[in-house]
Structure 1
Amino acid sequence: MEVTKWDMADYIETPEDVIVYLSTALEEGEPADVINVIGAIARSKGMTKLAKEVGVSREALYTSLSEKGNPSFITILNLLRSMGIVLQAQKISVPTHAQTAAISAMA
């Protein structure tokens, strides 16, 4: 029996799926999870097409969105824009411990 690796990209079929997956990752606040979800969304849309739209090679896009990748913020913004997604700032009522720690670490 052959076991295939589960890939979130296989389950992203509608614009609503994109919003649910990305919103959940952003709310949880783990940067690696956000990048993982963005990568899955990109794979579901077609990496070759998106790489051309963003202005990077397909290989560079795969590398930057990989587990060991560290994409620049501008790459993420351009990628999201090419997929029809924008980030919006929203006030949170009570910051979580992780958010407070992240803000403190940046200071």
Structure 2
Amino acid sequence: METQPWDASKYLNTQEDKIAYLNACMETGDAQLIQSAIGDIAKAQGMSTIAQQAGVGRESLYKSLSKNGNPSFQTMLKVIQALGGTLTVAPLPA
């Protein structure tokens, strides 16, 4: 049986899909998973467009959002804004 790698970006068609996907990843608290999810969303929207809006190079953005990337917090904020989002902090449930 032949398998293919899963590419979540192919299934993130609406803004609601993207938000639900990112929120589900955020609930894990896994920074690498969250970073990967942001990369999937950027890929779904068009990596070149997001890179331009965030003011970073496309290749640099691919590298930053890869599994082994290590983007700065500033880069992540710019990408989140380019994706049409904002970062919000809420208290943990008791």
- Give the TM-score range, shorter chain: over 0.9
1:9 CA drift (Å): 0.3
Where does structure 2 lack aligned partners over 5 or more consecutive residues? none
- Provide runs of 4+ in structure 1 moved above 2 Å: 1-5
Residues 92 and 53 of structure 1, relative CA distance in 2, 3 Å threshold: same
1:57-68 correspondence to structure 2 within 5 Å: 57-68=57-68
Larger radius of gyration: 1
Where does structure 1 lack aligned partners over 5 or more consecutive residues? 95-107
**TM-score calculated relative to the size of structure 1:** 0.82
**TM-score calculated relative to the size of structure 2:** 0.93
Q: Does 1:12 align with 2:15?
A: no
Q: Does 1:71 align with 2:46?
A: no
1:3 CA drift (Å): 4.5
Q: State the Cα RMSD in Å.
A: 1.4
Residue aligning to 1:103: none
Count of paired positions: 94
Residue aligning to 1:100: none
Residue aligning to 1:40: 40
Structure 1: distance between partners of 2:11 and 2:52: 24
